[in-house]
């Protein structure tokens, strides 16, 4: 009996926010079959209330919602919670907004979606969140500051803090992870596919545009002139790298 209680406590809770009940039902069925607990809401205002009170481990959030749209919900939740948020959208061209720096969504899935693909994305995002949380706790135990410094760029891995010329830059967790991965290998070109696998955790599912948009958002914060970047450089047709100085 005791073992069953322990397993129940370790279950991750996925919060599904969608106004199409048949989609919610399909997701609840498949998520619970995979061993997750689920919460659900059909409108934006209810979604914010449940998210802030229940603090789920991951949120599946539709863009087109009654009472408050998904992008506004994402922005509200991000002020308080730092959990993975996957946007569900029928509008593929909305990727810029979905992954926008001001919103803080971690990923997006376009409708109609494959349940298998969505499950893979959920697992990958939960795994990365656990690793990041574990790294942060380990960092808090260390007395010495754990930093990566490349030219004007400085990353404090204990505080999850980025500075450019000693000015703090506000990045989302995902953007921090991208920058950290690149800064650990200054001068080395990293392909989009490698970044997708190492930072997002996708080997087979994923859109490299996610990487491009995230990199563009990072540049908007760390570069003086995004049209002529000096820190985060593009190797055309290959990938990205941090300029070694």
- Res 104 pLDDT > 60: yes
48 and 115 fall within a common domain: yes
Confidence of residue 97 (pLDDT cuts 50, 70, 90): low
DSSP letter string, 82-110: -S-EEEEES-GGGHHHHT-TTT---EEEE
Domain that holds residue 207: 143-242
Q: What is residue 108's predicted lDDT score, i.e. its pLDDT? A: 82
Instruction: Confirm if 97 and 77 have CB atoms less than 8 A apart.
Output: no
Confidence of residue 129 (pLDDT cuts 50, 70, 90): confident
149 and 123 fall within a common domain: no
Query: pTM value?
Result: 0.68
Final residue belonging to a domain, choices 100, 129, 158:
129
Domain-located, residue 73: yes
99 and 8 fall within a common domain: yes
120 and 163 fall within a common domain: no
Q: What is the mean pLDDT of residues 12-37?
A: 95
Whole-angstrom distance, CA of residue 139 vs CA of residue 130: 14
Considering its fold, how many domains does the chain have in total?
Answer: 2
10 and 108 fall within a common domain: yes
29 and 125 fall within a common domain: yes
- Res 7 pLDDT > 50: no
Q: What is residue 16's predicted lDDT score, i.e. its pLDDT? A: 97
Whole-angstrom distance, CA of residue 80 vs CA of residue 65: 21
* Average confidence score pLDDT of the chain: 84
61 and 23 fall within a common domain: yes
Q: What is residue 145's predicted lDDT score, i.e. its pLDDT? A: 56
CATH number for the domain spanning 205: value is 1.10.10.10
In tens, the pLDDT along 154-164 reads 998 877 889 99
Domain-located, residue 137: no
CATH number for the domain spanning 58: value is 3.40.50.2300
Tell me the backbone φ, ψ of residue 93, rounded to 5 degrees. -75, -5
Domain-located, residue 222: yes
Domain-located, residue 138: no
């Amino acid at each position: 009996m005791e073992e069953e209680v322990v397993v129940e406590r370790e279950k991750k809770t996925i919060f599904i926010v969608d106004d199409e009940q048949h989609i919610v039902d399909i997701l609840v069925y498949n998520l619970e079959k995979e061993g997750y607990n689920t919460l659900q809401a059909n409108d934006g205002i209810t979604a914010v209330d449940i998210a802030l009170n229940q603090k789920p481990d991951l949120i599946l959030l539709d863009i087109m919602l009654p009472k408050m749209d998904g992008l506004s919900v994402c922005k509200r939740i991000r002020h308080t919670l730092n959990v993975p948020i996957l946007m569900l959208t029928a509008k593929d061209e909305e990727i810029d907004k979905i992954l926008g720096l001001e919103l803080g969504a971690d990923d997006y899935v376009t409708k109609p979606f494959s349940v298998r693909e969505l499950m893979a994305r959920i697992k990958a995002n939960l795994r990365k969140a656990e690793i990041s949380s574990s790294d942060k706790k380990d960092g808090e135990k260390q007395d010495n500051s754990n930093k990566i410094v490349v030219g004007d760029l400085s990353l404090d891995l204990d505080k999850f803090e980025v500075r450019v010329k000693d000015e703090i830059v506000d990045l989302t967790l995902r953007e921090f992870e991208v920058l950290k991965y690149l800064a650990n290998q200054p001068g080395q070109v990293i392909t989009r596919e490698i970044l997708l696998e190492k930072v997002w955790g996708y080997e087979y599912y994923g859109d490299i545009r996610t990487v491009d948009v995230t990199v563009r958002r990072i540049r908007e914060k760390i570069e003086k002139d995004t049209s002529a970047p000096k820190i985060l450089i593009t190797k055309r047709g290959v990938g990205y790298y941090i300029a070694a100085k």
